[in-house]
Amino acid sequence: MILGHIGARKGSKGVPGKNFRTLCGKPLIDWSLDQLFANARVGAVVVSTDDPAIYAHAVARGALDIGLRPAELATDTAPKWGVWQHALAASEPLYGPVSAFLDLDCTSPLRIPEDIDGALDKFEAEHPDMVMSVCEARKNPYFNLVEPDATGALQVSKPLPGGVWARQDAPVVYEHVGVVYVLAPAYLRQARTIYEGRVVPFVLPSERCHDIDTPYDFRLVEFLLTEQLNAGVRKV
């Protein structure tokens, strides 16, 4: 059984009330929740939250009743790994053994259903420990990401011998994006951090890879989502 998971913390410093804020006519979380409920491969859905309103909303829609997220996992600095581990451990007694743990980040509402199926297909075909959505990085640390050295002078972040003088010559670097993750339950139970095992990239077009972390991101995603809806790329 594939368990679909969404993590939705109450407090967001960047965009207050973010996960429940209306985006193009429905709460941000519903863009992801609707995709989990609409996917026939997903056997059960669970929402991990410390927000009673989000929790009541999710359970009323059919999400598993695992209780509110423990306070120690609801801080600004709690890694997502522990949240995922808790959600898996709390769900299995209610629903039975899980064959894949599918996470959608509600801050990435530009994903389309094909992105979820593509990540699941890759997981089922290659049996990695984890599939992680990425897009080609918009800036590259071998070429046009720079940082100040001890004297305050700018240097390329990851210099190569001889330098890299054209974007096309720089090694490929990806951005980690929260569009979709698929994890092997055994790996999630036993590892302590994300990258201990074999984590493989699922490469998506950057136009669907914008996480909402700031009010500016919210406006940008609203614009891009409206474009998707108008172009018929998605129905809901």
Ligand X SMILES: CC(=O)N[C@H]1[C@H]([C@H](O)[C@H](O)CO)O[C@](O)(C(=O)O)C[C@@H]1O
Positions in the binding site for ligand X (CB under 6 A) = 79-80, 105, 176-178, 211, 213
Residue closer to ligand X by CB (options 80, 158) is 80
Distance CA 70, CA 223 (A): 35
CA angle 45, 206, 171 (to 5 degrees): 115
CB of 110 to ligand X, least distance (A): 12
* Least distance to ligand X, CB of residue 87, Å: 13
The dihedral sign for the CA sequence 100, 125, 209, 199: positive
Q: How far is the CB of 177 from ligand X (least distance, A)?
A: 5
Cβ proximity to ligand X, 105 vs 129, nearer residue: 105
Residue 129 in tokens = 């420990």
Minimum Å gap between C-beta 150 and ligand X is 28
Compare residues 129 and 211 and give the one whose CB is closer to ligand X: 211
Strand 130-136 and strand 174-183: pairing? antiparallel
Cβ closest to ligand X, residue 92 vs residue 217: 217
Shortest distance (Å) from residue 142 CB to ligand X: 20
- For ligand X, the closer CB: 4 or 178: 178
